[in-house]
Amino acid sequence: MRWVLGIESSCDETAAAIVSPDGRVLRDVVASQIAEHAPYGGVVPELAARAHLRAVVPVIEAAVAALPGGLDDVDGVAVTQGPGLVGALLVGVQVARALAWQRGLPLVGVNHLDGHLLAVQLRREGDDAPPVPYPYVALLASGGHTALYRVDAPDEVALLGQTRDDAAGEAFDKAAKLLGLGYPGGPVIDRLAAEGDPKAVKLPLPFASKKTLDFSFSGLKTAVARHVQKHGPPADEGALADLCASFQRSVVHVLAKKAVAACEAEAVPRLVLGGGVAANAGLRARARELCEQKGVALHVPPLKSCTDNAAMIAYAGALRLARGERDDALRVFSRDPKRRRGKFRRDGTLVKRRPPSSAG
């Protein structure tokens, strides 16, 4: 097994990549639909599926062009089967099945979240960082997911905590929408926050002092809405920057605190950041600070590996293909089938249920 073609279409990125089972990325192609969804302030599933249909073949062609023999040099196919938007997932899965069938190639389905959790192990050109040793704790924070995992091996992952409502990226996007800053909101708020005073507006730090490793971000968005109702929209650039900085501080404070608390609770001195929110300058800085204090090694993959991409899917799939695993009948799923509330091990069994923290 030399080269695996990965295909990703779970949300608003159509992506294809060529990766080896040791994580070497030969090519990584991503077609973003951001412009398509921006007028609506969020991803519109129907539009996403149609855009995937238009982009999927050109994206695969661009990835495969990296191989001297083109498709003849592909040894296996890996495709995201969930969680994600079903109409969007079906596009990638159907193309992957057709390709595998027509070329007689082995095929595996990949859980999108496994891809994110392993993305730190990808070796891109010019990147000679050594692989991150197992086990590590991973904070995955994106537009659709926010959770903490313990990763003991590529196929042995335990959920430690997760958001009970909005994802962190979703909170950024909703706050930005409220402030008329456009979509996606994370990068804009991040940029504005750099100019503002994070202590200017008092906002809640949701779940910060609770023992749980779960998160909650929907109240924070409401707090921003209330602030705007009470004081009116920010009067000038300075007030806007202050509000963005205060909002970002709340999100980042809780994310970094729980992530490092998870390392301590698990006695794992390594933290990996992943998902689009890992691009956030405030989160990186705060995580670095806390990790230094607690003696935890912090690994932040390059941005291309944090946001949705097919290289991480190809890699997660390549490891399974190399072990001889195959998924002939591929189904798609919108929600993660095994990782809800509690800790799950390799076989999907529940190890330990964390009771929801009681009142008081």
Catalog residues that contact ligand KG4 under the rule CB under 6 A: 11, 142-144, 169-170, 172-173, 184-187, 190, 275-277, 279-280, 307-308
Q: Which residue stretch of 75-83, 303-311, 327-335, 346-354 sits at the interface with Zn ion (rule: CB under 5 A)?
A: 303-311
Nearest to 63 by CA among 78, 46, 48, 49: 78
Question: What does 184 bind: ligand KG4, Zn ion, none (CB cut-off 5 to 8 Å by kind)?
Answer: ligand KG4
- Nearer to ligand KG4 (CB atom), residue 216 or residue 307: 307
Q: Which residue stretch of 95-103, 117-125, 136-144, 350-358 sits at the interface with Zn ion (rule: CB under 5 A)?
A: 136-144
H helical segments located in 65-201: 86-103, 112-118, 168-178, 185-193
**Closest separation in Å from C-beta 116 to Zn ion:** 6
C-beta separation of 273 from 299 below 8 A: yes
Question: What does 216 bind: ligand KG4, Zn ion, none (CB cut-off 5 to 8 Å by kind)?
Answer: none
Give the residues across from 14 on adjacent strands: 31
- Tokens 């537009």 correspond to 143
Question: What does 76 bind: Zn ion, ligand KG4, none (CB cut-off 5 to 8 Å by kind)?
Answer: none
**Closest separation in Å from C-beta 163 to Zn ion:** 14
User: Binding of Zn ion at residue 308 (CB under 5 A)?
Assistant: yes
Number of H helices, E strands in the chain: 11, 12
State which of residues 9, 20, 121, 142 lies at the interface with Zn ion (CB under 5 A): 142
Question: What does 187 bind: Zn ion, ligand KG4, none (CB cut-off 5 to 8 Å by kind)?
Answer: ligand KG4
- Nearer to ligand KG4 (CB atom), residue 24 or residue 145: 145
**Closest separation in Å from C-beta 43 to ligand KG4:** 8
- The contact pattern for Zn ion, residues 182-201, with x = CB under 5 A and - = no contact, is --------------------
**Closest separation in Å from C-beta 161 to ligand KG4:** 18
From CA 160, how far away is CA 157, in angstroms rounded? Answer: 10
Tokens encoding 332: 């798609």
Give the residues across from 150 on adjacent strands: 137, 158
**Which residues are within 8 A (CB) of 304 and not within 5 positions of it... i.e. 6 or more apart?**
28, 30, 124, 311
DSSP symbol at 194 = T
Tokens encoding 33: 């639909």
Question: What does 277 bind: Zn ion, ligand KG4, none (CB cut-off 5 to 8 Å by kind)?
Answer: ligand KG4
Distance of CA 154 to the CA centre of its chain: 16
**Closest separation in Å from C-beta 269 to ligand KG4:** 26
C-beta separation of 202 from 230 below 8 A: no
**Closest separation in Å from C-beta 115 to Zn ion:** 8
User: Binding of Zn ion at residue 12 (CB under 5 A)?
Assistant: no
Q: Which residue stretch of 42-50, 142-150, 196-204, 279-287 sits at the interface with Zn ion (rule: CB under 5 A)?
A: 142-150
277: how many CB neighbours lie within 10 A of its CB?
29
- Nearer to ligand KG4 (CB atom), residue 225 or residue 265: 225
Phi, psi of 269 (to 5 degrees): -90, 35
**Closest separation in Å from C-beta 185 to ligand KG4:** 5
- Name the E strands within 35-103: 76-82
**Closest separation in Å from C-beta 35 to ligand KG4:** 15
Question: What does 186 bind: Zn ion, ligand KG4, none (CB cut-off 5 to 8 Å by kind)?
Answer: ligand KG4
Q: In this structure, are strands 156-162 and 4-8 parallel, antiparallel, or unpaired?
A: unpaired
Q: What residue number has its CB nearest to Zn ion?
A: 308
Phi-psi region at 104: left, alpha or beta (left = phi > 0; alpha = psi -120 to 50): left
User: Binding of Zn ion at residue 336 (CB under 5 A)?
Assistant: no
Nearest to 191 by CA among 97, 86, 281, 114: 281
Interface ranges with Zn ion (CB under 5 A): 142, 308
